[in-house]
Structure formats: structure tokens, C-alpha cells
Structure 1
Amino acid sequence: MTELSELKLTLARLIVESCEKDLDPASLAADEPLFGSGTRLALDSLDALQLSMALQKRYGVRLADSKETRRIFASLTSLAEFVAGLEARG
């Protein structure tokens, strides 16, 4: 398993746990949309807040810009790329 694949699985677990969803984290597809009523997870604004807090606690990052947050939370891939970028910077 590649480093990015491991990060995606870690983040999928974080999403499922922090948003209290009944879903196997390993079943979450990398490019599957995370938010919206038509998605499997059906995450909403409260879930976004819970996920933001979990990311802050685990990675020390605070997401302030709503447009940027929507882009980052679009899918597991976009979230993993964001976190990998944080880890690369330091």
C-alpha cells in the first residue's frame, strides 16, 4: 500500500468516526463525493464542523476559508492531497 493510500484509509476512518457514520471506511472510494444528500455518506454542515475539529486535533490545521474548505472536503483524494501537503511542509 502506498503512503497516499494509507493516508486515504486513515482519513476515511477519521471521517467515519468523527461524523459517526455506519460505513466501512475501506469501502469509501477515493473520488466519491463526501457531502450532499445524494451521496453515500450524506455529510452536512454539522459533519463539516466535526471533521474540521477532528483535523485540527489530529493535524493541527485550522480551515478558515469556506471556499477552500469545500474544495478540500470534496472527496477523500482532495482531503488526502491537502493533508499530504501539510506533512510535506513540515
Structure 2
Amino acid sequence: MADLDLDALRQQIKEAMVEELMLPQGADEIASDAAIFSPEGLGLDSVDALQLAVALEKRFGLKLADAAAAREVLRSVDTIAAAIQAK
């Protein structure tokens, strides 16, 4: 059951990313472990990071205390999902 909830949460995060950041790929094309800011991953930038942080707080109530916390949490969909589950 927990795995199903985690999969659903990952999907919701991906959908939020596509919608909020107007990504060219669909949610199903984003790997849960893809590096969000790496050129090999999604290649997002600092403006995207800010938009993503605001979207995650609005949709999931996830508050990122500071830049260091944001760097840790916003590494991948998996790390975002773990932070949402831990809050």
C-alpha cells in the first residue's frame, strides 16, 4: 500500500513539474531518479527551482527552509517525494 501511495505521489510531483514549469516532456517521460538540475537530467535552472519550490509548497505544503535544504530536496522526484512524506 505504501509503495502505491509513493508511486501516486511521484506522479503528482511530475505532473506539477510539467504544469508549473511548462516542461516540453510529459510527466510519464520524467524518471523518478533523474537529476532535476543536471544537463543529463531535466536541465532546469535557478528560476525553475524557485517556481518549483513555490509549487511544492502550494500543492503539498512542503516548506524549504533555506538554499541548502532546497539543494538536498530538489535533487530528483524521489528526494522531493521523500521530503513530502517526512513532513
With normalisation by structure 2, the TM-score equals: 0.87
Using the alignment, how far apart are the partners of 1:55 and 1:83 within structure 2?
Answer: 9
Alpha-carbon distance, 1:68 to partner? 1.3
Q: Is 1:27 matched with 2:12? A: no
Alpha-carbon distance, 1:40 to partner? 4.1
How do 1:4-83 and structure 2 match up within 5 A?
4-36=6-38, 38-83=39-84
| Structure 2: tracts of 5 or more residues without a match | none
Say whether the 8 Å CA contact 1:55–1:61 is kept in structure 2: yes
Paired residues in the alignment total: 85
Q: Secondary structure at the match of 2:23?
A: coil
Alpha-carbon distance, 1:39 to partner? 3.0
Provide runs of 4+ in structure 1 moved above 6 Å.
none
With normalisation by structure 1, the TM-score equals: 0.85
